[in-house]
């Protein structure tokens, strides 16, 4: 068994698609119209057949309070692996990403946390 699909709730699918592709470097995989929303997924450019990330509209009444509580407590909605957190931190800051946690070494793991502009905190991580 392996993870096929996971999701993040976003407040605007167009804004999310721009951020996740133009800033983070993912590529659009699937886009299927579903009324006013879409089934919209992105994947890693390095693994186009890998796990898909669904940019899920946050219209359900429970979602906005849930997202706000996570952000208030500094809890990331998702975590993405990178080869070098410090290098990715520098690259992402150059293109305008806002970080809520600068690179932090915790033993063999280094993390940083950024705002995805769509109501979520996203962690980047690498292990030694």
pLDDT tens per residue, range 54-73: 999 999 999 999 999 999 99
Q: What φ, ψ does residue 34 adopt, rounded to 5°?
A: -140, 75
Q: Pairing mode, if any, of strands 78-81 and 121-127?
A: parallel
Q: How many other C-beta atoms can be found within 10 angstroms of the C-beta atom of residue 54?
A: 17
For 10-55, what is each residue's pLDDT tens digit?
A: 999 999 999 999 999 999 999 999 999 999 999 999 999 999 999 9
Instruction: Tell me what the mean pLDDT of segment 110-115 comes to.
Output: 98
For 75-104, what is each residue's pLDDT tens digit?
A: 999 999 999 999 999 999 999 999 999 999
The pLDDT of residue 30 is: 98
- With beta carbons less than 8 A apart as the criterion, state whether 10 and 119 touch: yes
- With beta carbons less than 8 A apart as the criterion, state whether 67 and 45 touch: no
């Amino acid at each position: 068994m392996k993870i096929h699909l996971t999701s993040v709730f976003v407040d605007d699918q167009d804004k999310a698609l721009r951020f996740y592709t133009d800033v983070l470097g993912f590529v659009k995989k699937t886009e299927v119209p579903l009324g006013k929303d879409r089934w919209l997924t992105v994947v890693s450019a390095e693994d186009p057949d890998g796990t898909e990330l669904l940019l899920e509209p946050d219209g359900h009444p429970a979602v906005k309070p849930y997202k706000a509580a996570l952000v208030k407590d500094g809890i990331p909605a998702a975590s993405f692996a990178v080869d070098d957190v410090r290098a990715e931190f520098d690259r992402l800051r150059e293109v305008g990403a806002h970080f809520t946690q600068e690179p932090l070494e915790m033993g063999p793991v280094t993390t940083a946390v950024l705002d995805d502009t769509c109501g979520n905190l996203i962690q980047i991580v690498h292990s030694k």
